[in-house]
């Protein structure tokens, strides 16, 4: 696992420190919104926190395991475009920038989330054109 210092900016781009932003969710506190969960999942990808990613993936769509990508992407930044919640369902549209094999790439996704027993879970996503 990659180390994150308490003084550095959170990888999710919130402008807050990791300790004041995504670290509580990674430590087991329930994220208060689907957007907060999505940001914490992006940060988990940056920090290589596969157990957290699996734990926050809805059981209906969760893979049995996450295999490391080879070569590993270098995550460069996150931009949240839109967040909409309607009761226990939500969507978050985002663009994540990364480098892979020297190429700069973008992942543009509209993710679906559900809240069960007070916790948000990632369900799946679509990729707008």
Cβ atoms 125, 112 nearer than 8 A = yes
Residue 18 domain-assigned? no
Q: DSSP class of residue 51?
A: H
Residues of the domain holding 44 = 23-126
Where residue 68 falls among pLDDT bands split at 50, 70, 90? confident
Residue 44 domain-assigned? yes
Nearest CA to 35 out of 90, 75, 115 is that of 90
Residue 16 domain-assigned? no
Residue 15 domain-assigned? no
Residue 111 domain-assigned? yes
Q: What is the pTM of this model?
A: 0.92
Instruction: Give the whole-angstrom CA distance, residue 118 versus residue 121.
Output: 10
How many domains are there within the chain? 1
pLDDT tens digit sequence for 87-106:
999 999 999 999 999 999 99
Instruction: Give the whole-angstrom CA distance, residue 8 versus residue 43.
Output: 13
Looking at residue 66, which CATH number applies to its domain?
3.10.450.50
Instruction: Give the whole-angstrom CA distance, residue 94 versus residue 58.
Output: 19
Is 90 exceeded by the pLDDT of residue 5?
no
Is 80 exceeded by the pLDDT of residue 4?
no
């Amino acid at each position: 696992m990659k180390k994150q210092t308490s003084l550095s900016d959170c990888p999710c781009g919130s402008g807050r420190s990791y300790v004041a932003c995504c670290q509580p969710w990674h430590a087991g506190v329930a994220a208060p919104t689907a957007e907060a969960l999505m940001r914490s999942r992006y940060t988990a990808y940056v920090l290589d926190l596969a157990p957290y990613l699996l734990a926050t993936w809805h059981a209906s769509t969760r893979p049995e395991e996450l295999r490391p990508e080879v070569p590993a992407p270098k995550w460069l930044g996150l931009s949240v475009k839109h967040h909409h919640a309607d009761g226990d369902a939500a969507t978050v549209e985002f663009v994540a920038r990364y480098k892979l094999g020297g190429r700069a790439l973008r992942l543009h996704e509209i993710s679906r989330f559900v809240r069960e027993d007070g916790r948000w879970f990632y369900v799946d996503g679509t990729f707008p054109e």
